[in-house]
Each structure stands twice: as structure tokens, then as C-alpha cells.
Structure 1
Amino acid sequence: MLRKLLENLRGAFAFLLLSANTLFWCLLLFVLALVKLALPFEPARRRLDRLLNAVATAWIACNTGWMRLTQPTRWDVEGADALAPGGWYLVNSNHQSWVDIFVLQRVLSGRIPLLKFFLKQQLIYVPVIGLAWWALDFPFMRRHGKAALRANPGLRRQDTETTRRACEKFARTPTSVTNFAEGTRFTPAKHRGQSSPYRHLLKPRAGALAFAMGALGTRFRSLVDATIVYPGGAPTFWDFLCGRVPEVRVRIRELPIPEVFCSGNYEGDPALRSSFHQWLDQLWRDKDRQIGELLQDSGTA
């Protein structure tokens, strides 16, 4: 009972630090975003993009600070030290929890440019942080089910156009375009509902990755493939704040992006689309096997 009370007090303190950090940096972010809206000149917007990214990077650095202060979590990370900060990257990861975003930011910040995520449209309404994501030009995607797409194929073009416009903005300054290919957080129920062929992953959605490759082409230096494992089980964000995540394991691989995926037409070329799906399936099989090995090493498989 006393332990749970102390954990909840830790969580409340961590949440207070996160909230204060977010409000402080978001105020500056919003001021810069308003200036950017008022200045339609491309050179000015490029400079402001760099300032906005610097503010977001400072927010991430302060988050890492309160994590170290309040969290007893053991971090087991391999592969991140080999990355270089220059240029554009395409980042892909498995997805289990809101905590994944903080994990990726902590592990990759300073090693590659600022991570910018593909987000669900509804997240723009999250107080304060939703506006911050908008100010930083994060793309908000409308998720449509297969039935809706069959009934109205035109819906597919909405996300294609959103990805294209976002990538045009990303081209102004080095960016790490980040995507959770599963499109949603992994749960056993979703896994069963999909009849997923992977043991630890949902089926990947190819669209956002393929469109980003096509839009930014050879600008991408490489694909940064991140695998996140929580040996104690996928945590809620409150669990994380309360220090109930004993260990986080992260494995980073830097992989070349096949040139054909950057220069080809994913939508209009069935052969290329099939090749892309095979490439992504192999990437996912490798990740699924790696997750199994990491869980087995921790004795939780």
C-alpha cells in the first residue's frame, strides 16, 4: 500500500515537471509559429523552422532531465551511437504505448534531426501539445478502414496529399520523418482481429512509408529502424510516470533505402508496390524475430 502511494506521488511529481516543461517551451513555440504564419517568405520560414526545431529539441532535453530525476528505469540501448546528425532520415518503429514517443525522442535526440511523426487527425485536439505538433508541421492523417476505402476510394488520396504536403515542408530543413508502420498501438485483441502473421507485431501499413520515400526521394540518408521492447509488459503513460517500467530495451539499425522506392510511382506501378510490400514484410519479420529474442533474453518470452 505504501509502495503504491509512493509510486503515485512520483507520478504526480513527474507529471508536474512534464507539464511545466511543456507549457514553458510551447509558449515560445506558439510565438514563433505566429511569426512564421505572418511571413510568407521562404528564406524567413526556413530560418524559423530551424528555431522551432531548436525549441522542440530543448523540450526533449528537459524531458530527458526529469526522466533521469524521477525514473528508476534501466535503459538498454544498442545501435544509436553509430548515427550521424546531418541530413534527412526515415525512422520506423513498432508501436505499443504512448511511451514509445518519449523513448524514441530520448534515444535519438541529438543523434539525428528532430523526429516528426505521422499522427492521427484527432490528436490535433489534445490541449497545448496538439497545437505544438501543428506549429512544428507534424502531418495529421485521417485513418480510414478498409470498408470505407472500398466504398469511397477517393478517401485514400486524402492521406496521400497530406503526406505530400508534409514532405514538401520537411524538405526545407533536415528532418527525421517518423512513422509507426502498424498505424496503431499493438494489443492482443488487435493482433487476434487481424490474424497477424507476426507473433509480436500488427500488420504494417505501407502507404505513409512509401509516400514519404517517393516525396523526399534520395534526400533520405537511410532508414533508421527502431525496435522497442518492454520486458515488464507494455506500460501505460501513467505507469511510466510512476516509475513502474523496470527496463526499456531499444535496438537501432541503420538500413539503406532501395533507390527504386525513391524514384518510382508506388500508386501507379503494381510491380513496384508488390516489391515494396515484400521488402516491408521482410523488415517486419526481422523485427518480430528480434523482439522475440530480446524478450527471451529477459526471461519474459
Structure 2
Amino acid sequence: MLHFLPASVVGVIAALLLLLNTLVWVPILLAFSLLRLLLPFEPVRRALAPVLAGIAESWIACNSGWMALTQRTSWDVDGLEGLQRRKWYLVNCNHQSWVDVFVLQHVFNRRIPLLKFFLKQELMWVPAMGLAWWALDFPFMRRHSETYLKENPHMRGKDLETARKACQKFALNPTSVMNFLEGTRFSETKQRAQSSPYKHLLKPKVGGIALTLNAIGERFEAILDVTIVYPDGAPTLGQFLCGRVPRVVMRVQRRTVPENLQGADYTVDPRGRAAFRKWVRQLWLEKDRQITALLQQAAGESRGG
């Protein structure tokens, strides 16, 4: 609706609407979180969980509203049939941009339970949003280098323990556990530094998804394997706010956990670790080929148009 305005003006409007939306919903979220702190009983936690999730879903719905107002993005999404809001899902996706989060939230909102992300510890200090993520029980993970862990061996395994405790909370109410297996946003520089064998992806990190499956794998209705493609190039957050994302392509594929991985302990079982790595490598090979095909298809449609 605001497409006639200069992109910079659209960006300012979108940023202000995002800020206003956040300032409206985060205090409401924190008020209910304070009630949960004051009454730290399991029945209260269970009762308030859907209320807190509903507030977050309302924030996402309002974001979708200003996106419709300021964006003219063409959405090509497939694979959403049969999803349920009262089931558990493990969501896996490639990662290219901060825009991925808005895309995932927009597409899945109120189709499946609220997406819960594993976040870097530093994101706790993001104004307003850090408190919101804490209130929603998003786990914050500390990433330590191997050098640091050698100097501080007592810190080894702390992230896994944080993830394990988070999964125990996720098991209480229907949840969609979101996992970016690459652990960071894709770039050609990172790809070269890793010597990644994939054309469009970084090397996947298996530990997080393996621990989640080991902790609450029996709860998951399915693994939702998501592939996001931006045919015109992965956008920055600024480009997204300015309405400069012409097309988004998303494919969602339901997968089941292989029987040989059910109950396998990645942390202590060498065979289980090898099986998880083999399974994830195959997922990543298929995803890499799928991204190539989707980009070729989008290029063909552009030439044909």
C-alpha cells in the first residue's frame, strides 16, 4: 500500500511500526512473566505458558500487518498442509540473514506452536527483545572457543546442560524448537574459511539437534525441514525494512526421526554420534541440491517473465 513512497521513507515507517509494536506487547509479556516469578509453581507455569505464547503470536501477527503495509514481496511457500498448533515440532532451516526470523515467524505463526530459538548469550542485552526472549524461556547459549575451553575445562558441556534444561521446559507445553544447524548466517567468506563442501550452506553443527532429539524426541510430531531461498540475493535487515525483498521462496518438508537415532545419545555414544553426523550430512546434501534447483527455477521464471 505504501509502495509508491521512496524506499528510505518506507524503511523509516516500517522501523517505527516494528518499534511501536514491540513497545506495546513486551510490557504485557513482562507483566505475566512477573506473575510467573511471583508464583513459581508448576500448575501456574503450565497455565501461563499458552498466555505468554499468545502474546508473542500477537506481536508476530502485528509484524505481519506492517509487512503487508510496507512490503510487496512475492511469497512462494509450499509444504504447510496438515500442520497443527497443539503438537510439538523440531524445525530445521538454513540461515542467511536476520530476515529469516521474520520469514519463519510470518509463515508459521498460529499454524504450529510458537518457535523457540536457541540464542547467543549476547542477545540477552538487546533492548526490549532480550527481556521478551527471556520471558518466553528462549535458552541463551554461551559459545566458547576451543582455546578458552582448554584454559577453563569446567565450562565444557555447559551449553549442553543449558539446552537439556530448556528441552525439559519445552516438553511441558506444545513447542516448536527452532534450530539453525549452521549456527551462524551464511556468507561466502565463512564458507571459504570452513572449506565447506556445500555450494549454498555452511557445515552443519550436529550437537544441538542431537541433544534435542535425545531429550524430547518422542514428543515431536515431525521434523519440519525448511529451506529458504531469496532469488534476488539474501537481504539485510535494512533492505527488508525498506521493502527491497522482491521474492521469498520457502519449502517445508516433513521428516521423521530415523529409528536408529531414536534414543541415541550423541554425547557419550560414538556410534550414535557417527549416525547423527551421517544423517545430518545427508540432509544438508539434499538441501544444497534443493537450493540450487530453486534458484535455477526462479531464474528461469524471471527470464520467462
| TM-score relative to the length of structure 1 | 0.95
CA distance in 2, matches of 1:14, 1:22: 12
CA distance in 1, matches of 2:89, 2:155: 28
CA distance in 1, matches of 2:107, 2:87: 18
- SS of residue in 2 equivalent to 1:49: helix
Amino acid at match of 2:248: V
- SS of residue in 1 equivalent to 2:81: helix
CA distance in 2, matches of 1:149, 1:222: 35
Shift of 1:155: 3.2
Alignment partner, residue 123 of structure 2: 123
- What count of residue pairs does the alignment treat as equivalent? 298
Shift of 1:151: 5.1
Alignment partner, residue 76 of structure 2: 76
Alignment partner, residue 43 of structure 2: 43
Amino acid at match of 1:227: T
Shift of 1:5: 7.8
Amino acid at match of 2:35: V
Unaligned stretches of 5+ residues in structure 1: none
Alignment partner, residue 277 of structure 2: 277
Shift of 1:152: 4.7
CA distance in 2, matches of 1:242, 1:69: 12
Aligned runs of 1:232-271 on 2, under 5 Å? Answer: 232-271=232-271
Shift of 1:85: 2.2
Alignment partner, residue 303 of structure 2: none
Q: Is the contact made by 1:76 and 1:250 (CA closer than 8 Å) also made in structure 2?
A: yes
Amino acid at match of 1:99: V
Alignment partner, residue 23 of structure 1: 23
CA distance in 2, matches of 1:224, 1:113: 13
- SS of residue in 2 equivalent to 1:159: helix
Alignment partner, residue 87 of structure 1: 87
CA distance in 2, matches of 1:63, 1:282: 35
CA distance in 1, matches of 2:154, 2:212: 19
Q: Is the contact made by 1:74 and 1:247 (CA closer than 8 Å) also made in structure 2?
A: yes
* Alignment RMSD (CA, Å): 1.6
Per the alignment, do residues 143 and 229 of structure 1 end up closer, same or farther by CA in structure 2, a change over 3 Å counting? same
CA distance in 1, matches of 2:253, 2:214: 21
Alignment partner, residue 205 of structure 1: 205
Aligned runs of 1:126-141 on 2, under 5 Å? Answer: 126-141=126-141
Amino acid at match of 1:195: S
CA distance in 2, matches of 1:260, 1:122: 36
Alignment partner, residue 143 of structure 1: 143
| TM-score relative to the length of structure 2 | 0.94
CA distance in 2, matches of 1:197, 1:218: 32
CA distance in 2, matches of 1:4, 1:110: 31
Instruction: Give the % identical residues.
Output: 56
Alignment partner, residue 173 of structure 1: 173
- SS of residue in 2 equivalent to 1:198: coil
Deviation per CA, 1:127-156: give whole Å up to 9, x if none. 000110000000111112344445555433
CA distance in 1, matches of 2:77, 2:231: 13
